[in-house]
């Protein structure tokens, strides 16, 4: 008979093995919980820290003057790089009442993501009359918030408060001068009185603006403005006085003006290979490499493109002018000189019998003996004495209130910028620098950035009738200060 023999572990060893498995299972669960906590908790904590950022939005309000006009656009820019923009609120506080002009709330992208707009620009249109706001002192208030969780979820806030003046009344313009005559390509003067100080006022002539100044008068409400009717303006060009006050209110005032039509001479400039050989080397440092190698291509670049750049340079140069009448009586011309070309001449440039370019001559060419001394046409301040492209060595003099004279193609210069020169003082000598075929003086007059006919400024009768008599009459009619 067989006896079955059982081989088994002792009880205490079985129990210990079971406890070991149980311990390992607990440790595994604990580790899993820790891992899950780390996987979930760390990003959550990070998100909370990010969403709890405390940096307020950046706010820019572009109110140039502390005034609000009848119709005002208020540019506002809001930036928040961290949480994104939540809202913008704009109001005006006046007479104990707060009037909300604009309010916008921007949405969030989600619980932990914040806003989806980090920079936004606004143009808030303000019309005080429609908003029930009367003229007078007030407070402009602007609030911007972000999507931060701070401040009980309302976000970080930036607050701006600025004292302003509501001014919806446009300035009044009254003409002081009453007789106005101007020729095509000529200049004129207008005197007018403003009811309030205006940062911008002057004469609009077509697409150009000629600034006015509260000039040489005891009554500072009276303004002086030189104007010009450019050679290429139409005879029916719209001309009027314009004034803009600090609140942006704008007024226009027309006035009686007699415009004298005139025609301009046609001229032919014949170009030769010899001229190209003599003149083009002077411009080799300013002609771009991609311009054709032929003399005609290089000439056309100088006569067209460089001419435009030089006009722009002159325009920049005459942006600043002294508020003072430096000059007296008529301007002088180059002594003992003969006129070689006139203002406004329509020039055809011919080469080998063909017209290759057309330009307008914006000055008067005066020829005398070579290297003749050049006197200043009138008293003024030198604002430029240097090379000026097609004009060669040139001197520009500011005579005050936007009136300038220009002397070009000089062989030498005897003055420097900033110097006050008297009428007749020698400023240089005639020459053939720039695009000049022979020794001469190119003389120009400018009203602000518009070339005008110099002949008018050589004529004492014209100056008396159109300029000085108006100023003298206005001064005489003013009450003693």
Question: Would you call 25 exposed, middle or buried from its count of C-beta atoms within 10 A (0-12, 13-18, 19+)?
Answer: exposed
> 8 lies in a domain?
no
Q: How many domains does the chain have?
A: 3
The domain in which residue 235 lies consists of 173-261
Residue 188: name the closest of 205, 174, 171, 172 by CA.
205
> 41 lies in a domain?
no
What Cα–Cα distance (Å) separates residue 28 from each residue in 21, 35, 37?
Answer: 10, 10, 14
Alpha helices (runs of H) in 81-188, residue ranges in sequence order: 128-131
Give the domain-ending residue among 138, 166, 194. Answer: 166
First CA to last CA distance, the chain: 150
How crowded is residue 142: how many other Cβ atoms within 10 Å of its Cβ?
23
Residue that has been written with the tokens 């002009």 in this structure: 101
- Residue 104 CA to residue 341 CA, distance in Å, equals 65
Kindly state whether residues 236 and 331 are assigned to the same domain.
no
> 125 lies in a domain?
yes
> 448 lies in a domain?
yes
Kindly state whether residues 133 and 199 are assigned to the same domain.
no
Kindly state whether residues 216 and 301 are assigned to the same domain.
no
> Average pLDDT per run of 10 along the chain, which is 481 residues long?
45 56 64 58 51 88 89 94 93 96 89 81 95 95 93 90 95 95 97 96 97 91 97 92 95 95 94 95 93 94 97 96 96 96 97 97 96 98 97 98 98 97 98 95 97 98 97 85 54
How crowded is residue 261: how many other Cβ atoms within 10 Å of its Cβ?
7
> 4 lies in a domain?
no
- Residue 163 CA to residue 143 CA, distance in Å, equals 15
Give the domain-ending residue among 166, 199, 215. Answer: 166
- Residue 68 CA to residue 60 CA, distance in Å, equals 17
Give the domain-ending residue among 261, 282, 307. Answer: 261
Kindly state whether residues 271 and 366 are assigned to the same domain.
yes
The confidence score (pLDDT) of residue 46 equals 46
> 195 lies in a domain?
yes
Kindly state whether residues 314 and 245 are assigned to the same domain.
no
Element (H, E) at 456: helix 454-458
Kindly state whether residues 287 and 425 are assigned to the same domain.
yes
Q: What CATH number does the domain containing 208 carry?
A: 2.60.40.10
Residue 187: name the closest of 400, 454, 472, 475 by CA.
454
Beta bridge partners of 481: none
Residue 296: name the closest of 282, 268, 276 by CA.
276
> 315 lies in a domain?
yes
> 81 lies in a domain?
yes
The confidence score (pLDDT) of residue 478 equals 78
Residue 383: name the closest of 324, 445, 430, 320 by CA.
320
Residue that has been written with the tokens 């208030």 in this structure: 141
The confidence score (pLDDT) of residue 22 equals 65
Kindly state whether residues 414 and 336 are assigned to the same domain.
yes
The confidence score (pLDDT) of residue 105 equals 94
Kindly state whether residues 146 and 219 are assigned to the same domain.
no
Q: Are 406 and 389 in contact (CB under 8 A)?
A: no
Kindly state whether residues 270 and 373 are assigned to the same domain.
yes
The confidence score (pLDDT) of residue 17 equals 56
List % helix, strand, coil for the chain (3-state, nearest 5): 20, 40, 40
Please calculate the CA angle 298-301-305 and round it to the nearest 5 degrees: 165
The confidence score (pLDDT) of residue 29 equals 65
Kindly state whether residues 136 and 193 are assigned to the same domain.
no
Kindly state whether residues 404 and 314 are assigned to the same domain.
yes
Kindly state whether residues 314 and 443 are assigned to the same domain.
yes
- Residue 263 CA to residue 183 CA, distance in Å, equals 10
Q: What CATH number does the domain containing 441 carry?
A: 2.70.70.10
The confidence score (pLDDT) of residue 108 equals 85
The confidence score (pLDDT) of residue 151 equals 85
464's tokens? 């008396």
* Phi (first) and psi of residue 355, to 5 degrees: -75, 120
């Amino acid at each position: 008979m067989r006896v079955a023999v059982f081989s088994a572990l002792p009880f205490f060893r079985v129990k210990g093995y079971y406890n070991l498995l149980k311990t390992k299972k607990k440790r595994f669960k604990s580790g899993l919980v820790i891992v899950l906590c780390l996987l979930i908790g760390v990003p959550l904590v990070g998100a909370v820290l990010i969403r709890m950022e405390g940096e307020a939005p950046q706010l820019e309000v572009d109110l140039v003057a502390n005034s609000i006009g009848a119709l005002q656009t208020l540019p506002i820019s809001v930036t928040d790089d961290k949480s994104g923009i939540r809202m913008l609120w704009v109001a005006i506080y006046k007479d104990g009442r707060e009037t909300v002009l604009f309010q916008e709330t921007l949405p969030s992208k989600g619980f932990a993501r914040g806003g989806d707009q980090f920079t936004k620009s606004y143009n808030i249109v303000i019309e005080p009359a429609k908003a029930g706001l009367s003229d007078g002192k007030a407070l402009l208030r602007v609030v911007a918030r972000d999507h931060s969780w701070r401040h009980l979820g309302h976000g970080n806030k930036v607050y701006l408060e600025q004292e302003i003046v509501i001014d919806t009344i446009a300035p009044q313009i009254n003409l002081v001068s009453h007789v106005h005559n101007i020729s095509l390509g000529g200049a004129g003067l207008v005197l007018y009185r403003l009811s309030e100080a205006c940062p911008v006022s002057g004469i609009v002539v077509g697409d150009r603006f000629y600034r006015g100044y509260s000039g040489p008068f005891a009554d500072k409400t009276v303004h002086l403005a030189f104007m010009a009717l450019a050679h290429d303006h139409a005879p029916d060009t719209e001309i009027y006085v314009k004034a803009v006050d600090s609140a942006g209110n704008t007024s226009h005032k027309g006035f009686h003006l007699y415009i004298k039509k005139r025609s301009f001479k046609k001229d032919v400039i014949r170009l030769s290979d010899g001229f190209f050989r003599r003149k083009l080397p002077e411009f080799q440092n300013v002609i771009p490499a991609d311009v054709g190698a032929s003399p005609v291509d290089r000439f056309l670049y100088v006569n067209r493109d460089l001419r435009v750049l030089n006009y722009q340079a002159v325009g920049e140069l005459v942006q600043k002018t002294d508020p003072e009448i430096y000059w007296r009586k008529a301007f002088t011309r180059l002594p003992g000189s003969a006129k070689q070309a006139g203002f406004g001449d329509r020039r055809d440039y011919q080469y080998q019998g063909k017209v290759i370019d057309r330009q307008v001559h914006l000055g008067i060419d005066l020829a005398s003996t070579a290297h003749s001394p050049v006197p200043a046409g009138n008293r003024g301040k030198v604002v430029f004495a240097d090379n000026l492209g097609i004009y060669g060595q040139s001197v520009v003099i500011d005579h005050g209130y936007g009136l300038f004279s220009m002397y070009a193609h000089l062989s030498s210069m005897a003055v420097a910028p900033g110097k006050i020169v008297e009428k007749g003082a020698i400023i240089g000598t005639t020459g053939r620098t720039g695009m000049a075929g022979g020794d001469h003086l190119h003389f120009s007059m400018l009203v602000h950035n518009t070339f005008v006919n110099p002949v008018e400024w050589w004529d004492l009768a014209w100056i008396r009738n159109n300029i000085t008599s108006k100023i003298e009459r206005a001064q005489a009619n003013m009450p003693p200060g």
